[in-house]
Amino acid sequence: MRLQRLAETDRPALSFMLDGAPAAALEGDTLLTAILAQDGHLRASEFGDGLRAGFCLMGACQDCWVNVEGLGRVRACTTEITEGLRVSRRMVQP
Amino acid sequence: MSVVIVGAGPAGTRAAEVLAGAGLRPIVIDEAPDSGGRIYQRQPAGFHRTARDLYGFEAAKAQAVHDVFDHLRPSIDFRPRTLAWNLRSGVIDTICDGKASAVPFEQTILCTGAMDRVIPLPGWTLPGVFTLGGSQISLKAQGCAIGARVAFLGTGPLLYLVAYQYARAGAQVVAVLDTTPFATKARQAFGLMRGRATFAKGLYYIARLRAHGIPIAEGVTPLMIAGSGRVESLSWHDARGARHEAAVDAVALGWGLKPEAQLADLAGVPFDFDSVQHNWVPRQDATGRTSVEGVFLAGDGSGIRGADLAEAAGARAAWAVLAARGLAVDTHAVARLDATLAAGATFRAALERAFPFPAKLAADMADDTILCRCEAITAGEVRAAANEASATLPPPEVNRAKALTRVGMGRCQGRVCGAAAAEVLASMLSCPVEQVGRLRGQPPVKPIPILPAEAA
């Protein structure tokens, strides 16, 4: 699964770091959109049952946590991406 | 002292309008960066689709709610990006950009909205499975479909609406699978006619989906979502019991909505099980007033009634607040609101009966299906704990099941699994679902950073 951009694709591009590798996004993307538009997961379940990619997209389920350098753990669905953000999908501790 | 409105959706907006009209300056708190709530969520700056593109038939209503709020900005104390994480006597605890604040109130109107009601099925934690509401937000607020080949599964008006919106935006909709049989809906035809416009829109969405050649199946039983590290297929039984499987990379699912009523719970408002909605609903009178001094409710957080009635209920609760403060009340306006709310209730009940929550689907979930996605707890673990506990202890209820298995103890606090967990437990105990109770709310209602508080 990758999110499919169907509209609003003429926004300015920006770059960020995803797990140490350069990645591209668009201004106004949430972290969730920016990540899932290129690679279909956000985190691994702490209980060993596999990868997760969020669920509710409205800040309720808390299943889209990622690490951002300087910010710590954030909800990807309610955090806007900004230029140069360094995002890590390594195990996020509760 | 202030009136505090929590939630800047349709209910909160109309409540603020009435209060500001009476010369008050309410504090309006919302976790989102802007007003509109989920139903009329605004797209970020730099996006330029029209209201018609975003909200379809509801464009005029959405625009009106946004316009009202924008005009109110100078006369209210709007606090966006602010989570109300606790409610104690006369105080709402908030956090904004990591900064905590205790907001005292004389009256509060809780307009905290709703979220999707979910039934876990095998594979539902795979990347690519989202709620119906989440799928709609992805399209509305980000211009994205949740996948390249999307199936829609569940029941309720949102199922057809979001599928239609996806098809219209150019997404590939593989199938729309409704767990409610046609006959169940047909029985409510008379009641549904009362909501003429809403009913007509529903028929339009279905007709457009069919015109797009999208298969729609009613009375289905979902079997599983399968894939390795991502969604690869969805399988189901049709109404006749024949097995089907579709190759998809994303599934949007949801079975109606449930109130986000955690703050009302923390306030001490009693809850009742509404057997028509099949939801626990905080108790309020027709004006939105609760038995807790100063606490009023409106919108879907007070029981699912939809956006139109949320607007009316928000305004109505604000008049009740004005009455409580001894201020003048426009009895004509109140009478109109009361009539709107009463008329809407009949249609709403028909809608709930037309798309009932398939409790049996939840109750019959396989033992190895993950029930609680936060803590990866299976239905079988809950059943085993219920069995063990019932041998030595009084019959368990959901909070006891939580203590024994951690189901509902994860970081979503049972928002996602609570409804289904109660069905699993009730079925084990052969009792009506309301007898196993509901998960009690706990502060903070959402995770907040634990850091030493800075001196104010």
Q: With the CA atoms of B282, B287, B292 and B293 taken in that order, what torsion angle do they form, in degrees rounded to the nearest 10? A: 160
* Residue given tokens 């770059």 in the structure block: A15
Given pLDDT bands bounded at 50, 70 and 90, which one contains residue B190? confident
pLDDT digits (tens, 9 = 90+) for B330-362: 999 999 999 999 999 988 999 999 999 999 999
Residue A19 lies in a domain: yes
B346-362 burial: b if 16+ Cβ within 10 Å, else e: ebbbbbbbbbbbbbebb
pLDDT digits (tens, 9 = 90+) for B359-403: 999 999 999 999 999 999 999 999 998 887 766 666 678 998 898
With contact defined as beta carbons under 8 Å apart, do B230 and B127 qualify? yes
Q: What is the pLDDT of residue B320?
A: 98
CATH code at A39?
3.10.20.440
Q: Is A47 on the interface with B (CB under 8 A)?
A: yes
Q: What's the rounded mean pLDDT across residues B175-185?
A: 95
Residue A25 lies in a domain: yes
The shortest CB-CB distance from A58 to any of B38, B126, B373 is to B38
pLDDT exceeds 50 at position B251: yes
Q: How far is B408 from chain A (nearest CA, A)?
A: 11
Total of domains in chain A: 1
pLDDT exceeds 60 at position B2: yes
With a pLDDT cut of 90, the percent of chain B lying above it is 86
Angle between helices B157-169 and B132-142 (to 10 degrees): 30
Residue A1 lies in a domain: no
Pairing type for strands A21-26 and B173-178 reads unpaired
ipTM of the complex, rounded to two decimals: 0.97
pLDDT digits (tens, 9 = 90+) for B300-316: 999 999 999 999 999 99
Q: What is the pLDDT of residue B415?
A: 96
How long a stretch of residues is chain B?
A: 456
**CA-CA distance, B10 to B5, in Å (whole number)?**
12
Give this prediction's pTM: 0.96
Kindly tell me the burial class for residue B63, based on how many C-beta atoms sit within 10 Å of its own C-beta (0-12, 13-18, 19 or more). Answer: middle
pLDDT digits (tens, 9 = 90+) for B61-73: 999 999 999 999 9
At residue B245, the 3 state secondary structure works out as: strand
Q: What is the pLDDT of residue B454?
A: 55
pLDDT digits (tens, 9 = 90+) for B216-232: 999 999 999 999 999 99
Q: What is the pLDDT of residue B456?
A: 45
Residue A47 lies in a domain: yes
Q: Is A84 on the interface with B (CB under 8 A)?
A: no
Residue A6 lies in a domain: no
Q: What is the pLDDT of residue B198?
A: 84
DSSP B170-218: T--EEEEEESS-HHHHHTTHHHHHTTHHHHHHHHHHHHHHHHTT--EEE
Chain B CB contacts of A55 below 8 Å: 129-131, 134, 373, 416
- Mean per-residue pLDDT of chain B: 94
Decide if A56 and B53 are in contact by the 8 Å CB cutoff: no
Residue A21 lies in a domain: yes
Residue A2 lies in a domain: no
Residues 305-334 of B with CB under 8 A from A: none
Q: Is the dihedral of CA B420, B423, B424, B426 positive or negative?
A: positive
Which residue segment(s) compose the domain that A28 sits in? 13-88
pLDDT digits (tens, 9 = 90+) for A26-76: 999 999 999 999 999 999 999 999 999 999 999 999 999 999 999 889 999
To probe the interface with A, which of B40, B49, B130 has the most A CB atoms within 10 Å?
A: B130
pLDDT exceeds 80 at position B450: no
User: Would you state the structure tokens that stand for residue B378, as one six-digit string?
Assistant: 């299976």
Residue A46 lies in a domain: yes
Given pLDDT bands bounded at 50, 70 and 90, which one contains residue B200? confident
